[in-house]
Structures are given as C-alpha cells and as structure tokens.
Amino acid sequence: MSTSTLQADRDWWRGAVIYQIYPRSYQDSNGDGIGDLKGIVARLPHIAALGADAIWISPFFTSPMKDFGYDVSNYSDVDPIFGSLADFDAVIAEAHRLGIRVMIDLVLSHTSDQHPWFIESRSSRTNAKADWYVWADSKPDGTPPNNWLSIFGGSAWAWDPTRLQYYMHNFLTSQPDLNLHNPEVQEALLGVERFWLERGVDGFRLDTINFYFHDKQLRDNPALAPERRNAQTAPAVNPYNYQEHLYDKNQPENLEFLKRFRAVMDEFPAIAAVGEVGDSQRGLEIAGEYTSGGDKMQMCYAFEFLAPDPLTPATVAEVLRNFQKAAPEGWACWAFSNHDVVRHVSRWGAGIADRDAHAKLLASLLMTLRGSVCIYQGEELALSEAELAYEDLKDPYGIQFWPDFKGRDGCRTPMVWDGAAVNGGFGSAKPWLPVPAEHLTRAVSAQQGDQESVLEHYRGFLHFRKAHPAFAKGEIEFVETNGPVLAFVRSYGNEKLFCLFNMSGEPATGTLPDEPVSALEGHGFTAEVKDRTVKLPAWGAYFARLV
C-alpha cells in the first residue's frame, strides 16, 4: 500500500487497531541490550501479519532516561540509544509500505530538567524563558506553595537553590512541568507537532493530556473522601489518591490549546490523535470534553479497562454506557494493557486454569467493543506480568514504593521472538530487563502456525473484524449484562451483528434475539445452538448477523 493510499482516508482512526511498541523492549538490532528503531523496522512484518492498522511508538526522543523517554531533553531528535532521525524515517517508509500508519508518543506536559529550556529557565528569574515552567515562591515558612502531590510520590514541588523558588513536577523531580499559560510555550510545542508531521507521522498519542494546564491561583486541592479513593491513577499506596485533583490538572484552558493542536493536524492529510486522560475521578467526563465538536482530539484513551477490578459483563456495559453518556459526540480508544499497568492476563487471570482461552475471549471482546483498540506488544502472545527481583528493577516508581507496588518493569520486559534463541531473540547482549523463562515458551516462534495459539487467534480475529465494518465503526446496544454472559448488537448501515460472550470459566447459555440470525464464521469460536439457546463453553463466544 502506498503512502498516498494511506493518506486518502481521514476517518482511518475510527475503529482502528493500534499496536503499541515500547521501543526499549521490542527488538535490539545492535547488541547493546536496548531495543531500537532499526529493530522496529525489522519486526514491522509481524505487525502487518497481525493485521494492525497503526503503530504507536512510545517516546524515542533524546532523554536522560530517568523515566525511560518520558523525560524529553530534545523534542526534535532521536536518542542515540534508539538510533537516528534517518532510522526513524526508515520506520515511516517501511510501515507505510506495509500499509501501517505511524503514531508517536508526544510528552508535552513536562520535559526533562536537562532540556535547554529548563536549564535557561532555572538560571534566573529574569531570563527569556523564566516563565516557561511553573515557578512559585514558597510559603513564608519555606514550605511548598500548596498541597499538590506528585504521581510518583511526595510533593509536586521541588526547591531550586538558584531561583530560590519551587518548580512544579507532576511526576519525577527531574520532570518539571511546562507552563502552557505562556503563549510562547504553546507556540514551541505546536512547532514540535509540526516538525513530526512534516517528517511523515500519521498521528500522535498525547501523554497525560489533561495535565497541560494548572490553576493559575495555585489553590489547594481538597481532600477526597475515603470511599471515593481508588487505585487507577496511582497505586493504592500513594497518597496522590487522597486528593480531589481540581486544580493541578483538568483546567478549562486546555480545551483552547487542544483546538490549536487540532488545527495544525488538520493542515495535513489524514492525521489523528489519541489523548491519554490520566484521571480516575473524572476520566470519561474529560474524554467527552476533549473529543467533542470535531475540533479537538479524535479519540481519548481512558483508564477504565486498565484498572485492577475484575472484568464482568456488568462492568463492560457500565463503562461503555457511561462513555456514551459523557461523550455522545466522542470516540474512545480502549486498551486492556499498556506500558504502565500489570498485563491483563495476570491482572484478571488469578486462578484461571485455561489462560489461552481466557486471553482469546478478552481479545475478542476488546476488538468488538465500540471504539478504537490499542494492543500492547506481547499481548498477542498472552504474556504474563514478569516477576522481577528488586535488584533487577529500573522503574523509579517501583523502586520508590517497593514491595507494596512493584512498578511498571513487569510489563516492560523484552518481546520474545524465538524461544530457542538467546534472550528470546530480542538481542545478543544482556537485555536492560531480564527475559522471564516462562515467556520463552510463548514466543512468536512457538505460536506461529499453531491455529490453537493465542497469536493465531489474534491474527484470525483481526481479519474477522476487518470483514465486518460494524465492529470498527458501528453503534452498540447491550442486550444481556447479568451473570457471566454479555450480549450486545453492533450496527452500521445495513449490517447488524449479534455478539455473545461467556466471561467465565464454566459453561453458560445465552439467548438469541427474536429476529432471524445467520451464524458468522472465521472468529475462532464454536458454540452449540438449539432453538434460541446458545450453549457456550468456558470463555466461549458466538457471533451472528441479524437478518
């Protein structure tokens, strides 16, 4: 497929399946133990064979790597550990040749403290970039300006001895927050956006999109009632969950900036963005605001299915209905796993005997919900969360809260390509994180060609999804949500598809609609149908067209 063919559909993102690559852990091409852009080029055929529409590449920009690329020190270059701008151009060229769009992960709410902008900003209170970050005087007693907390623990304020002021950091102290109230900062960030669009990217995943602006008055956040605390935005051991985050993020000024960001995208053909909404208190409401009106984000990536809570038919229906209520004009992008949370086959799989059947059912459910889909590397192999020793940890988040929260390294271990090769085929040198022995038996080489494998199920189901536009772009109506069985209808144009899932490890039955149905093939599941009753095996599913 040519680049021009890719660019023809401005609506490509609606219902797209986006494959997330964590570049450090995908493929090491040069033997330094760290994945890189040339490694991605070499493995793009795997993604094409899977059937994904796009890739989202986590940050590869120049960075001191305190937060593994989410602390950017140069927005317009590639960190040498990942390669060069020429290597990135090769990713674009090969992806487009294979019919895959390329989205990159822009981190605009904060930079590294080693970014030249911050080095200049902290040098004095009068320099040209003095107001490019969020600076504030201490209280009279020397304590921070307010009670805002960092997601990574402790105060969201760090003292700078040169300016004799505090600067704000929602994450690590080495990740100072940019001051987007300053028009010059907005212009600089829109320039970053334009740089990568001119380089040929097809869109963006926008990290922590609701953190761009803070309350100018620096008002204290109120306490959050204990019954409203949950562990979605931060782990339960983090007091970040004890506040209602009214003032440190989610500010109304963000909507105007998102319109400006969208206007730049609209100067180019067929560009789309998905914003990550990091908020467990108002996530769906914010997603609705940010995707409304056709002049902001195309999609938002909410946390509802990244939570530790067990997935049930009632939960699925509630989340989708709540999104529709909060965002009647909006579009969601759903994920069950990513680089920040425990892999979902482990998160939801405790005590489940048949991991493969469970993984296939979850994949099929994810790919038939209304919205676009993100698949995280290794998910297609049903990789489990890696259990790492403390001495193997690299994530500062896990090191801070060990052992009550073990951080994010367990979902970031290297991709396994060949179970018989050194380091699972990831690379010749010792990888930056260890390859778990239990992952080797689930390598691509072990599953490829085995029609009973999770990998081949993903491939087959993605093909099945593409054959029925209602899955990608249709409306959804829930029919059954009680007990272990979930049933809904997806409709688009003249196509109406009935979907039935047994979300339990025991056989269950579902009921067909009153109207005639024609069973669909090619989805990888079997069920017994008698009259209007469908007998589903454990973790089974059934699909039919309403005729």
Give the pLDDT of the chain (547 residues) as one tens digit per residue. Answer: 344 446 568 899 999 999 999 999 999 999 999 999 999 999 999 999 999 999 999 999 999 999 999 999 999 999 999 999 999 999 999 999 999 999 999 999 999 999 999 999 999 999 999 999 999 999 999 999 999 999 988 999 999 999 999 999 999 999 999 999 999 999 999 999 999 999 999 999 999 999 999 999 999 999 999 888 865 677 778 899 999 999 999 999 999 999 999 999 999 999 999 999 988 778 889 999 999 999 999 999 878 899 888 899 999 999 999 999 999 989 999 999 999 999 999 999 999 999 999 999 999 999 999 999 999 999 999 999 999 999 999 998 888 889 888 889 999 999 999 999 999 999 999 999 999 999 999 999 999 999 999 999 999 999 999 999 999 999 999 998 989 999 999 999 999 999 999 999 999 999 999 999 999 999 999 999 999 999 999 999 999 999 9
Residue 159 included in any domain: no
Cβ atoms of residues 88 and 37 within 8 Å? yes
Residue 140 lies in a domain: no
Domain count, the chain: 2
Do 518 and 402 share a domain, yes or no?
no
- What are the Cα distances from residue 103, in Å, to 400, 439, 456, 502, 509? 31, 28, 25, 34, 41
Shared domain for 346 and 408, answered yes or no, is: yes
Residues 73 and 210 in one domain: yes
Q: Which residue has the tokens 């140069």?
A: 74
Q: Are residues 458 and 520 in the same domain?
A: no
Tokens of 170: 């929602």
Instruction: Tell me if 156 is assigned to some domain.
Output: no
The HSE-up count of residue 52 (CA atoms within 13 Å, CB side) is 27
Q: How many angstroms separate the CA atoms of 378 and 360, rounded?
A: 13
* Boundary residue ending a domain (465, 495, 522): 465
Q: Which helix (H) or strand (E) holds 495?
A: strand 495-502
Q: Is 473 exposed, middle or buried (0-12, 13-18, 19+ CB in 10 A)?
A: middle
The CATH code of the domain that includes 507 is 2.60.40.1180
SS3 letters across 224-290: CCHHHCCCCCCCCCCHHHHECCCCCCCCCHHHHHHHHHHHHHCCCCCCEEEEECCCCCCHHHHHHHH
Full-model pTM? 0.96
Q: Is residue 448 part of a domain?
A: yes
CA atoms within 13 A on the CB side of 442: 21
Which of 446, 465, 484 terminates a domain? The answer is 465
Residue 238: predicted pLDDT: 85
Residues 411 and 515 in one domain: no
- Residue 139, in any domain of the structure: no
Range of the structural domain that residue 404 is part of = 3-109+180-214+249-465
Rounded CA gap, 177 and 180, in Å? 9
Beta strand ranges found along 317-442 (DSSP E): 333-335, 372-376
Does 345 fall in a domain?
yes
Residue 511 and residue 422 in one domain: no
CATH at 202: 3.20.20.80
Do 435 and 426 contact (CB within 8 A), yes or no?
Answer: yes
Query: Within this chain, do residues 311 and 443 fall inside the same structural domain, yes or no?
Result: yes
Nearest to 544 by CA among 499, 478, 513: 499
CA atoms within 13 A on the CB side of 258: 33
Query: Is residue 336 within 8 Å of residue 379, measured between CB atoms?
Result: yes
Residues with Cβ within 8 Å of 138's Cβ and at least 6 positions away in sequence, in order, are 144, 145, 159, 165, 166
- Does residue 140 have a cis peptide bond before it, meaning omega lies within 30 degrees of 0? no
Question: What's the sign of the alpha-carbon dihedral 103, 81, 395, 211?
Answer: negative
504 and 365 in one domain? no
DSSP 8-state assignment for residue 331? -
Residue indicated by tokens 């998102």 = 258
Q: Are 384 and 343 in contact (CB under 8 A)?
A: yes
433 and 480 housed in the same domain: no
Instruction: Give dist(CA 27, CA 22) in Å, integer.
Output: 10
Residues 452 and 371 in one domain: yes
Q: Is residue 166 part of a domain?
A: no
| Cα 527 from Cα 247, distance rounded (Å) | 52
Residues forming the active site: 207, 267
Please tell me whether residues 256 and 386 are part of one structural domain. yes
Do 374 and 504 lie in one domain? The reply is: no
Do residues 476 and 488 touch, judged by C-beta distance below 8 A?
A: yes
User: How far apart are alpha carbons 341 and 347 in whole angstroms?
Assistant: 9
Final residue belonging to a domain, choices 437, 465, 493:
465
The answer as to whether 71 is a domain residue is yes
- Write down the pLDDT at residue 237: 82
Q: How far is CA 79 from the centre of its chain?
A: 22
